Amino acid sequence: MHYRKKWLKGLAGLVILQFLLLSSLKAQPDTIKPLSPRLLLADVIPGTDSVQLCWERSPSQDVELYVVYYGASVGWRPADTSFSALDSAYRVKLSDVRFRAVSFRLVAVDSSGNNSPLSNIHTTCYLSAEFDSCTVTAGLVWTGYPAWPDDSVHYTVMKSYGSNRIPSPSLQGNAGTWSDTVSRNRRVCFYVEARHTGGLTARSNMACLYSHVLPQPSWMNADYASVTSEGKVLLSFHISSDGDSVNYLLYRSPAGGGAETELRQFSWPAGGQLQAEDTPPGTDRPWKYVLASVNACRSVQVSSNPATTVALTVSGKQGGAFLSWNPPYGYRAGTGEYAIYRVSSEGSYIRVGTVYPPDTTYVESRDVLAGQGIKGNVCYVIRAEEASGNPYGVRGVSWSNTACAGFSSDYRMPNAFTPDGDGINDEFGPVFDILPGKFHLIISDAGGRKVFETSDPSVRWNGRDPGGSIRAGTYLWYMRYTDETGRTKEEYGSLVLILKK
């Protein structure tokens, strides 16, 4: 009995000792820090200021929550808290992600309030975009996703007009720039997707811009390139009224091909007719002119049809004057007709014929030229008129250069005439195909007395002597003139004046 009491007394002492030990342990605070979580992803939700964070939870068992920190100018600052130990993803709202790359870290907090060390860092990808109105392209620059090595990531640029997204080709991990053509005068947005080989995708902020470009004219019509008698070229262009006030460049090049020369820049309001003048290096060969609207960087936006001068050549041959010319390439409705004009000695135009495309030649016979009072060279000009049907209601008219040809000063001298007033063979004088440059004619009677003299080849002798009498008989004539080569020639002969009974 005594033994049993002793045993019970010892057991009670052990219970008291265990209680005291447990009470002592519970009274001592928990200072052991939980292990850090591992951050896996910082994915910006495009078009918002939200970032989706994903992580591997802390291995520590007593974790109660996670605190999100972001990198600020003064160090790491708390951004938000996930109040569940079971969370491995959380969406944080932070306006900074719209304007810069933002770094994030996590801290695990246990039930005793112990904080884990800061986790690894993940930094958002930041994208900026600029619009180039010269090339109508968007230039994109992004910071990359530094938590992933270059060899483990590829980038895709997503372009969108509204909800429709257009991906770029896949870009290497070391890429940080991209240029893309955009539609004019539209809002366009971009973001970048960083795709890790492990399957995760981190997106950048969304960068938007408006592709403002001055409206260009929808069409420009080159009306004509017309040569003047002074060797200048008059140009006319009609411009649609649906554009803005923009700059234009005028170009000239040889019509048969060759280097293009910029002649002049114009600032012109929308719509209307633009006229210009040029002095090319010679109008005996054709020139092509084009008007182009340009942007602020002088990049051509819209070009007119070409306007081509008509270059005329004339050669004098035995059969007459042979004319040839190039068609005025560029008329939108094609060429309707060519009007042929001979230039008189007074400078007026005499229409002598009409030619229809595709012909570009004309011959005026020597028989027609004879007796026309043409002095020296015979000269021509062509008027090329556009056919009807130009879509912009314009009908171009182009004049060619003036081209001339010399003919031999052949003449015919009659040996008799009858100045009786019947209108037939009443006057005497030479008939030149082409009037000579200089001319002198003297007619004498058989006794050597001068009865007529003139320096005008168009003035003829009517048979009267200085006293006003008309006497039948034989007369002598002497003629001196300058031929087409400039040489002076002398001719003489006799004639018979016949009076009808």
Residue 90 pLDDT > 80: yes
Joined tokens for residue 327: 């068609």
> What's the average model confidence in pLDDT over 229-246?
91
- Count the neighbouring beta carbons within 10 Å of the beta carbon of residue 1: 5
- Mind listing the pLDDT tens digit for each residue in 381-391? 999 999 999 99
Is 323:312 a contact under the CB 8 Å cutoff?
Answer: yes
Task: Name the residue with higher pLDDT: 20 or 174.
Answer: 174
Task: Output the pLDDT for position 104.
Answer: 98
Task: Output the pLDDT for position 23.
Answer: 52
Pairing of strands 63-72, 75-82: antiparallel
Read off φ and ψ for residue 368, nearest 5 degrees.
-70, -35
Burial of 449 (0-12, 13-18, 19+ CB in 10 A): exposed
Task: Output the pLDDT for position 238.
Answer: 95
Q: Is 126 left (phi over 0), alpha (psi -120 to 50) or beta?
A: beta
**Euclidean distance between CA atoms 88 and 84, whole angstroms:** 9
> What's the average model confidence in pLDDT over 142-165?
95
The residues, ordered by sequence, that sit 6+ positions from 182 with a Cβ below 8 Å of its Cβ are 131, 136, 137, 138, 159, 188, 211
Joined tokens for residue 23: 């009470």
Is 352:342 a contact under the CB 8 Å cutoff?
Answer: yes
Residue 188 pLDDT > 80: yes
Q: What is the DSSP letter of 169?
A: P
Residue 16 pLDDT > 50: yes
Residue 1 pLDDT > 60: no
Q: Across 4-8, 105-109, 362-366, which has the greatest mean pLDDT?
A: 105-109
> What's the average model confidence in pLDDT over 366-374?
72
- Mind listing the pLDDT tens digit for each residue in 451-480? 999 999 889 999 999 999 999 999 999 999
Task: Output the pLDDT for position 63.
Answer: 95
- Count the neighbouring beta carbons within 10 Å of the beta carbon of residue 439: 20
Residue 9 pLDDT > 80: no
Three-class SS state of 183: coil
Read off φ and ψ for residue 205, nearest 5 degrees.
-65, 165
**Euclidean distance between CA atoms 137 and 158, whole angstroms:** 15
Sorting pLDDT into bands at 50, 70 and 90, what band is 11?
A: low
Sorting pLDDT into bands at 50, 70 and 90, what band is 371?
A: low
Read off φ and ψ for residue 373, nearest 5 degrees.
75, 25
Q: Say which range, 142-156, 173-187, 359-373, 396-410, has the weakest mean pLDDT.
A: 359-373
What's the gap between Cα 312 and its chain centre?
A: 31
Task: Output the pLDDT for position 25.
Answer: 46
Domains and CATH numbers, the chain: 38-123 (2.60.40.10), 127-210 (2.60.40.10), 220-405 (2.60.40.10), 411-497 (2.60.40.1220)
pTM for this model (two decimals): 0.62
Joined tokens for residue 74: 């003064």
Task: Output the pLDDT for position 312.
Answer: 98
- Count the neighbouring beta carbons within 10 Å of the beta carbon of residue 455: 11
Q: Say which range, 19-33, 325-339, 344-358, has the weakest mean pLDDT.
A: 19-33
- Mind listing the pLDDT tens digit for each residue in 263-277? 999 888 778 899 999
